[in-house]
Amino acid sequence: MASPNFSSVPVLDYARVSSPTLKPQFIKELQHALINVGFLYLANVPVETDALVSYIPRLFDLPQAAKDKISMVNSKHFLGYNKLGSEFTKGNRDWREQFDIATPHVCRAAEGRGDPDYWNLWGPSQWPDEDLLPGFKDVMERYLLQVQQLSYDFSALLAEALGLPTAALMQFYDRDELMQHRGKIVRYPQTDSETQGVGPHYDAGFLTFLLQASGHKGLQVQNLTGEWIDVPPIPGTFVVNIGRALEFVTQGLARATSHRVVLPPGDTVRGPRYSVPFFQNIGLDVKLAERILQFPPEILKLRDARGSVGATDSVNFTEFDRETSGRVNLIGRVKSHPDVAERHYPELFKQIFPNGVPAQVSAY
């Protein structure tokens, strides 16, 4: 059998999904990508990106005071603006600036009712003043809703590719008004020395849909033997990858793959690199350990043929074996944004950081 290791990330054509004759080939390619790679490009997806892409440089070019006005530290939902150099991964500074903006959601938690603290993780986004960037909010909201729909449609295909009923993953999502998915708009400034854009990490949730919004190389993924493989932007595609939560409930069938962004000096494309990841969440109250999925033996054999993944350079993500998904994610957010936690979750902050805000904060 061919070695399951990979030296490039496969490109899948989403248009095939609507053709009964071509869909089986898509499902087969998806199965390979999920089990052996953990990353894929998806071409021909029904998401409009041009309007959003044209706003991105103007968003970052807003006066610093307008960006600071919507700083993440204002938001108990960990939504808003983070300035350059405020995150670290594996002890090194990440060289990026970003806005966390999520799908619309009304926070469920009420004061004095004993609601779980992690319900506060989700709530309304902070937006720049409409008159400074007219139309941006509308375009971003529309974009997030389109990617949200894609993410649900894709999870049915994923279930099929792993030999499950198409609705098998629906148990992990609450109904629309109880869900929230998080987008980020990220800017990696051009540098003249090689710099860590973001260090090696896994994503935490279920599925990530990444729009590479400029022509720069930089994204890399780690293959089964630990080599770093380039994932250059391909116009008209999204990059899709698996998070730790989905890997956990699929018994490691769908791989969470270690990835990073390296900013190469002398890139022929000048200016900053832009990207827009969308992190698909699962319901806050879901305990993953109680919902491990069961697979046909012939599918599990494919995982065993891949073997366990050797050493990676990534920091491990929090385990899902005891807590609700909301609690796991809240702890992750507290660790990466202690300034937000100190203001909005003082007790949890003290438990996690008994000596106060650490000098270096981990992005993951």
Ligand X SMILES: O=C(O)CCC(=O)C(=O)O
Site residues for Fe ion per CB under 5 A: 203
Q: Which does 45 bind (CB under 5 to 8 A by kind): Fe ion, ligand X, none?
A: none
How far is it, in rounded angstroms, from Cα 285 to Cα 173?
A: 10
The binding track of 216-235 with respect to ligand X, each residue x by CB under 6 A or -, is ---x----------------
CB 265 to Fe ion: min, Å: 22
Residue 249 tokens read as: 């409930």
> Where would I find the H helices in 180-324?
244-249, 297-306
DSSP per residue, 118-155: GGGG--PPP---TTTSTTHHHHHHHHHHHHHHHHHHHH
Tokens 């150099």 label which residue? 85
Structure-block tokens of residue 150:
């894609």
- When binding is defined by CB under 6 A, the residue of 16, 187, 217, 259 that contacts ligand X is 259
Pattern of binders to ligand X over 58-97, x per CB under 6 A?
----------------------------------------
Distance between CA atoms of 102 and 122, rounded to whole angstroms? 9
Minimum gap (Å) between residue 18 Cβ and ligand X? 28
Q: Of the two residues 244 and 303, which places its CB atom closer to Fe ion in the complex?
A: 244
**Would you call 347 exposed, middle or buried from its count of C-beta atoms within 10 A (0-12, 13-18, 19+)?**
exposed
Q: Considering only CA atoms, which of 29, 28, 37 is closest in space to residue 12? A: 29
Q: Which does 275 bind (CB under 5 to 8 A by kind): Fe ion, ligand X, none?
A: ligand X
Candidate list 277, 326, 332, 338; residue touching ligand X; CB under 6 A? 277
Among 180, 258, 275, 325, binds ligand X (CB under 6 A): 275
Contact 136, 55 (CB under 8 A): yes
Q: Is 203 an interacting residue with respect to ligand X (CB under 6 A)?
A: yes
Which class for 143: exposed (0-12), middle (13-18), buried (19 or more C-beta within 10 A)? buried
Question: Does residue 102 touch ligand X according to CB under 6 A?
Answer: no
247 binds, among Fe ion, ligand X, none (CB under 5 to 8 A by kind): none
Closest CA to 120 of 110, 134, 130: 110
CB of 240 to ligand X, least distance (A): 12
Distance of closest approach, residue 328 Cβ to ligand X, in angstroms: 16
186 sits near ligand X (criterion: CB under 6 A) = yes
Residue number, nearest CB to ligand X? 275
* Residue ranges in contact with ligand X by CB under 6 A: 186, 198, 203, 210, 219, 259, 261, 275, 277
